[in-house]
């Protein structure tokens, strides 16, 4: 984001530099963005702030620009990771997938063989202990479903996958950012697109792909598969859940499948966003009541119902701690 200060902005910086810059940074971080660097400039623009924004940031950029407009003119430009840019220039980049073969019998058998390497070893090593409650709520589901969860850590997918009953787990697939997990030319085993499709059971999601990004998960549901989706889209860095996207609701309404919310606890402390280190600790996966939608339910109303089911538990956890999310406690969720 480039900024050209008005006279009022220049005066505010002169009078209280830390306070003025702090207010601008707070405005950016309010939209779940992470500031990477900030630089003073000489020339046409006065300030350059580089930040990492969630996929749905386009919806908020106009509001952000308006919020800062009292002190500066702004111009927000897209950027690209330098390593990825270099690979694209050298024609080593590009993405591949999805791989429909991942639903075949041989792939499902292979996924079981990879399970310890891909999932269980990490959960066993770092979740001390992992407490799962409410898993019996899957018993009423006959057919495919969409499992959703709050998103605060890279450990979320591993723990969520390990918390599902076997009949759901062995036939579940989840989306992953195509420009991170499905790039050609990576050397590491876990970064190979085929490994992601086979061992992890993931499929590529193009950032900003619009409705077309839902074509493959729709096909998976038609094939009788279950889905894992984090409706916040990106890992939350605040005490509040980010706004949910409509993708889950669109899929659930069109394919007439239930949504099963799972509230995860303890994982933000285990591996915070931006950290490469994992700290062992207690973790929880708490299965909430499945959500079924009546015919004629609108997409926004469906999204609100899913968000509200999760947010009720989120507020309890903020007030009373992680134990408040447990579904084996009579007072875990108010009537």
Q: Which residue has the higher pLDDT, 277 or 284?
A: 284
Q: What confidence tier does 331 reach under pLDDT thresholds 50, 70, 90?
A: very low
Between residues 154 and 252, which one has the greater pLDDT?
252
pTM, 2 dp: 0.73
Query: Confidence class of residue 26 from pLDDT cuts 50, 70 and 90?
Result: confident
pLDDT band at 251 (very low <50, low <70, confident <90, very high): very high
Residue with tokens 């008005």: 6
C-alpha span between 197 and 9 (Å, rounded): 50
Name residues whose C-beta falls within 8 Å of residue 13's C-beta, 6 or more positions apart in sequence.
5, 20, 21
> Is 4 or 186 the better-scoring residue by pLDDT?
4
For residue 223, pLDDT beyond 50? yes
**Is the per-residue pLDDT at 235 higher than 90?**
no
- Whether 247 shows a pLDDT value over 80: the answer reads yes
Measure the CA–CA gap between 327 and 330, rounded to whole angstroms.
Answer: 7
Residue 58: the pLDDT is 62
- pLDDT of residue 115 exceeding 60, the answer is yes
Q: Residues 185-193: what's their mean pLDDT?
A: 85
Tokens standing for residue 95: 């993405």
Per-residue pLDDT tens digits for 134-160: 999 999 999 999 999 998 888 898 999
Distance from C-alpha of 54 to C-alpha of 236, rounded to nearest angstrom: 9
Q: How confident is the model at residue 271 (pLDDT cuts 50, 70, 90)?
A: confident
Q: pLDDT value at position 167?
A: 93
User: pLDDT tens digits for 39-66?
Assistant: 989 999 998 988 887 655 665 666 677 7
Reported as a pLDDT band with limits 50, 70 and 90, residue 10 is: confident
Strand-pair partners of 204: 176
Q: What is the DSSP letter of 104?
A: S
pLDDT mean over 161-174 = 93
Confidence of residue 248 (pLDDT cuts 50, 70, 90): very high
CA angle 97, 100, 106 (to 5 degrees): 120
Q: CA 249 to CA 309: how far, in whole Å?
A: 14
Which residues are CB-contacts of 209 (< 8 A; sequence separation ≥ 6)? none
What per-residue confidence (pLDDT) applies to 82? 79
d(CA 281, CA 266): 7
**Intra-chain end-to-end CA distance of the chain, in Å:** 46
Token pair belonging to 185: 């030319």
DSSP string, 168-180: HHTTEEEEEEHHH
Q: Give the three-state DSSP class for 160.
A: helix
State pLDDT tens for residues 198-221.
Answer: 999 999 987 666 678 899 999 999
What pLDDT sits at residue 258?
97
> Residue 52 has what pLDDT?
81
Cα dihedral sign for 183, 188, 191, 197? Answer: positive
3-state secondary structure of 149: strand
Q: What is the mean pLDDT of residues 223-232?
A: 94
CA distance 31 to 242: 9
Q: What is the pLDDT of residue 273?
A: 67
3-state secondary structure of 300: helix
What pairs with residue 120 in β-bridges? none
- pLDDT band for 34, please (50, 70, 90 cuts): confident
Predicted pLDDT of residue 334: 40
pLDDT tier for residue 108 given thresholds of 50, 70 and 90: very high
pLDDT at 209: 60
């Amino acid at each position: 984001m480039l900024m050209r200060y008005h006279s009022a902005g220049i005066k505010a910086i002169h009078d209280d530099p830390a306070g003025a810059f702090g207010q601008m940074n707070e405005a950016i971080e309010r939209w779940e963005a992470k500031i990477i660097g900030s630089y003073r400039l000489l020339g046409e623009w006065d300030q350059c702030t580089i930040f990492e924004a969630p996929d749905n940031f386009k919806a908020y950029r106009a509001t952000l620009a308006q919020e800062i407009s009292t002190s500066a003119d702004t111009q927000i430009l897209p950027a690209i990771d330098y390593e990825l840019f270099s690979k694209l220039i050298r024609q080593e980049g590009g993405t591949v997938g999805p791989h429909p073969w991942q639903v075949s019998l041989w792939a499902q058998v292979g996924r079981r063989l990879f399970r310890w390497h891909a999932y269980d070893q990490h959960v066993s090593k770092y979740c001390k202990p992992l407490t799962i409650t409410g898993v019996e709520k899957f018993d009423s589901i006959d057919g495919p479903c969409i499992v959703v969860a709050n998103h605060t850590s890279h450990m979320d997918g591993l723990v969520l996958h390990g918390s599902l009953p076997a009949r759901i787990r062995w036939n579940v697939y989840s989306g992953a950012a195509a420009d991170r997990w499905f790039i050609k030319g990576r050397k590491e085993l876990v970064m190979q697109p085929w490994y992601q499709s086979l061992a992890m059971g993931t499929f590529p999601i193009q950032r900003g792909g619009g409705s077309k990004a839902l074509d493959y998960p729709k096909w998976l549901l038609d094939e009788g598969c279950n889905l894992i989706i984090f409706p916040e889209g990106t890992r939350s860095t605040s005490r509040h859940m980010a706004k949910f996207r409509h993708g889950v609701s669109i899929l659930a309404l069109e394919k007439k499948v239930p949504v099963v919310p799972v509230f995860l606890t303890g994982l933000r402390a285990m591996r915070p966003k931006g950290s490469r280190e994992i700290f062992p600790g207690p973790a929880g996966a708490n299965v909430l009541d499945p959500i079924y939608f009546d015919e004629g339910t609108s997409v926004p109303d469906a999204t609100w119902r899913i968000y509200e089911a999760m947010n009720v538990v989120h507020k309890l956890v903020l007030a009373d701690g992680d134990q408040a999310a447990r579904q084996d406690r009579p007072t875990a969720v108010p009537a």
